Structure 1
């Protein structure tokens, strides 16, 4: 087994509910990160040489190992993040499903295929394939430390790349577990992990990787982009969100309220594509709100409960500031309220009468809070839903007009009569626009994200009209003009 020499400096991962030490991990400096990238580079010939079928078999072995040890991974995840064990199991299951899809569909999506050469180049045979980039650096988040980075890791590996993974400093144990189990299943360090703080991630962006996949805040994503720009290293950025849920007047209100609460408070609200704003048609506003408030009052953030602690201590201050700003500007908390100093848990909070330009409506809160706003019609709801600089996910509840409303939303993804369902479907791309980032993980787009297209044009027979030669004559140019005019210039504009 090849390992990176552990540096003297270490750091602890902590249980956010208690502050207890979960594990101690090395802080990899720039030299150690470069060593990891060099080792990954040395593995590219082996990994690419396996071909699609060989990589599929390797990923199947890894998938089976993870599936057999799901409870072990989920328990570690729950300790490092504080999320309920059941939520950690669900996250692991979804990650395994995506791993299975990526490994089994990479060949179909990426292999060389014929494409039409067009009428003017009919003498050519045209084809394109998608080739692996080489070494992909993945910088993962702490809120979904398995599912989210695996959306890059699994797809990059299936596409033929080797990977160096830098997990969040809050969940380093999860990252190490993934790399160790991969080595156990495959026997080669095709997937490696480096741990540490922001400096370790910065070192990864400067270590000569062929692409960086980053998930985190918009502000940090901008810094990652700036660093990668120095070497023209391409990036895929999955940043923040301020996702809206729209409730039409024909919605199933019980289901809509349940989805709004789960979307807002699951994982203690620490979900980039979670529900932070709800816009409800005037006709059903009161009935919806009654259901949401009743359900929210039955939910409590506490040790061993369905809502866990806030994983990153500094996030508590952001949540507190957003709630305080909403209340100071005329908003009301029907459930929950101001966050006490020193709190590790934030109670589910339902805010109403919150101004549209407030922090709670415009900035990512990343806590178990939700604003509920009355709207006169769906035009009003859509305008408000589209009214932030974020555009990641969205949700619509309507029995008859879901598609009509969804198609007018500015967002990378939309769920109709469900919540965040798009994330669990391996065939759908996941990602946003605007301050929510760009590029895609998951699905065929996610496989192609970690490749470059290689196009080939092969002459099958000599052309009727020679175009790409200095021997081209004026007569042939006139023939070309007649052909183009005949093909594309007939009829009225």
Structure 2
């Protein structure tokens, strides 16, 4: 097997299967000095796009959802070949974007409708106007879902959009844009390809807002570059999500969640469980169940029907994960499962026991299939350690219901699950706290982040808006 480096910028950007090293395809690189022209085209298209009603824009996108569903197998295969996740998951990711399109765009259109406030003889109209041009910069771990989450609300809100996908997964993003552009006016949605130079040119260009999903470090650079223009930002950044397991927990449920959320997508998920804190009195019973669940995961190529975990997307990511594991072992952590060296970009699902916060793997984001388990004496210690991080995206606590709810309210993450995953109900936004994000997306509150709020107040007797 071939282990891959991050590609370097050439006239074309090639995408390789991270399992085999085989070429999947390539796209033309957008010269960095042409990014301003792309933005100018988006700027020129924006007034006519904004002149449509939000519902008209939403209705224009609905057929794109049907087209995505119709092409789910074809696009899902491209996604899995260049990202590495099992084919069923790749197809499922495309299907989810397409099947939910109509409901999503209607929700966005409703969220950005004007609101009315009255009182003291006056009426205030709250208008949710587009910013103008939105730059959307997305990662490789969910390479159609992440563009979808950024592009669709920006468009329905009346912005035009320039998408810059990860250089690791350009093919599926390119196909996604082609599908949407079958139904959109020219210039409303464009895509640029490349690496750092193109991303920096986009951030520095004449855009009004930037929606970014990626690492904390990259987010900090974007925030600094956007500061002179006070460009509006939505930043979903890294995390180090904790899972707390206390007395009274359903240990089968807790272990099933901890294993799946540590290992799915080979741990390459922004809300992966990266720290597990288990109360001492139930530790042995929990570990037995965690071991059972971990054995259910099989590594392999995306086209291997028996595999439910693929590879790391690139060599550098594998090296980072293994370096953290070795550091933890050198400081006393014990490998209870896995830990074997594998060929290529594959990393075995691994359980580390006896970890502590002196180890880098309990402090720095891992983004790999490693379940790190620490023992705590009680809920107070669990909360203290769970909050001992600069991050704050997701967190989960399992335990007796009343106790678990109280513990959940003490955690500093933006999204907390109590005896379940941290994902919210329909309409809930996706929120990062602390250094895991600025702003938020999804749900009516998240959709409005793509809008400039303007308040127009008149005497109540007038009928003008």
TM-score (norm 2): 0.92
Any stretches of 5+ residues in structure 2 without a counterpart?
1-8
Q: Residue 219 of structure 1 aligns to a residue in which SS?
A: helix
Any stretches of 5+ residues in structure 1 without a counterpart?
1-6, 463-493
Alignment of 1:226-245 (within 5 A): 226-245=224-243
What is the aligned partner in structure 1 of residue 355 from structure 2? 354
Work out whether 1:391 is the aligned partner of 2:389. no
What is the aligned partner in structure 1 of residue 168 from structure 2? 170
Q: Tell me, in whole angstroms, the C-alpha distance in 2 between the residues paired with 1:420 and 1:191.
A: 32
What is the aligned partner in structure 1 of residue 107 from structure 2? 105
Work out whether 1:46 is the aligned partner of 2:48. yes
Q: Tell me, in whole angstroms, the C-alpha distance in 1 between the residues paired with 2:100 and 2:157.
A: 14
Q: CA deviation at 1:461?
A: 7.0
Q: Residue 144 of structure 1 aligns to a residue in which SS?
A: coil
Q: Tell me, in whole angstroms, the C-alpha distance in 1 between the residues paired with 2:392 and 2:102.
A: 28
Q: Tell me, in whole angstroms, the C-alpha distance in 2 between the residues paired with 1:457 and 1:77.
A: 49
Per-residue CA distance 1:295-320 (angstroms, 9 max, x = gap): 21342322221110000221111101
Alignment of 1:309-458 (within 5 A): 309-337=311-339, 339=341, 343-401=344-402, 402-422=404-424, 425-458=425-458
What is the aligned partner in structure 2 of residue 273 from structure 1? 271
Q: Residue 414 of structure 1 aligns to a residue in which SS?
A: strand
Q: Tell me, in whole angstroms, the C-alpha distance in 2 between the residues paired with 1:162 and 1:240.
A: 27
Q: Tell me, in whole angstroms, the C-alpha distance in 2 between the residues paired with 1:195 and 1:155.
A: 21
Task: State which of 17, 20, 23 in structure 2 corresponds to 1:18.
Answer: 20
The 10-residue stretch of structure 1 (106-115 or 279-288) with the greater mean CA deviation from structure 2: 106-115
Q: Residue 420 of structure 2 aligns to a residue in which SS?
A: coil
Q: Residue 299 of structure 1 aligns to a residue in which SS?
A: coil
Q: Residue 46 of structure 1 aligns to a residue in which SS?
A: helix
Work out whether 1:257 is the aligned partner of 2:255. yes
Work out whether 1:289 is the aligned partner of 2:287. yes
Per-residue CA distance 1:193-225 (angstroms, 9 max, x = gap): 100111111111112111011111111111111
Q: Tell me, in whole angstroms, the C-alpha distance in 2 between the residues paired with 1:262 and 1:51.
A: 42
Work out whether 1:73 is the aligned partner of 2:75. yes
Q: Residue 325 of structure 1 aligns to a residue in which SS?
A: helix
1:298/1:48 CA distance change after superposition, 3 Å: same
Per-residue CA distance 1:128-159 (angstroms, 9 max, x = gap): 11101111000000011111221111111121
Q: Residue 125 of structure 2 aligns to a residue in which SS?
A: strand
Q: Tell me, in whole angstroms, the C-alpha distance in 1 between the residues paired with 2:97 and 2:415.
A: 19
1:15/1:251 CA distance change after superposition, 3 Å: same
Q: Tell me, in whole angstroms, the C-alpha distance in 2 between the residues paired with 1:421 and 1:234.
A: 25
Q: Tell me, in whole angstroms, the C-alpha distance in 2 between the residues paired with 1:421 and 1:411.
A: 12
What is the aligned partner in structure 1 of residue 64 from structure 2? 62
Q: Tell me, in whole angstroms, the C-alpha distance in 2 between the residues paired with 1:92 and 1:395.
A: 27
Alpha-carbon contact 1:326-1:360 (below 8 Å) kept: yes
Q: Tell me, in whole angstroms, the C-alpha distance in 2 between the residues paired with 1:278 and 1:203.
A: 40
The 10-residue stretch of structure 1 (40-49 or 126-135) with the greater mean CA deviation from structure 2: 40-49
1:80/1:229 CA distance change after superposition, 3 Å: same
CA RMSD of aligned residues (A): 1.9
Q: CA deviation at 1:174?
A: 1.2
Alpha-carbon contact 1:142-1:170 (below 8 Å) kept: yes
Q: Tell me, in whole angstroms, the C-alpha distance in 1 between the residues paired with 2:98 and 2:373.
A: 35
Per-residue CA distance 1:91-136 (angstroms, 9 max, x = gap): 234333553343102332222111144xxxx122222111011110
Larger Rg: 1
Q: Residue 240 of structure 1 aligns to a residue in which SS?
A: coil
Q: Tell me, in whole angstroms, the C-alpha distance in 2 between the residues paired with 1:226 and 1:410.
A: 25
TM-score (norm 1): 0.87
Q: Tell me, in whole angstroms, the C-alpha distance in 2 between the residues paired with 1:386 and 1:144.
A: 27
The 10-residue stretch of structure 1 (296-305 or 205-214) with the greater mean CA deviation from structure 2: 296-305
Per-residue CA distance 1:50-106 (angstroms, 9 max, x = gap): 212211211111111112211122111101100001222332343335533431023
Alpha-carbon contact 2:65-2:97 (below 8 Å) kept: no
Alpha-carbon contact 2:357-2:363 (below 8 Å) kept: yes
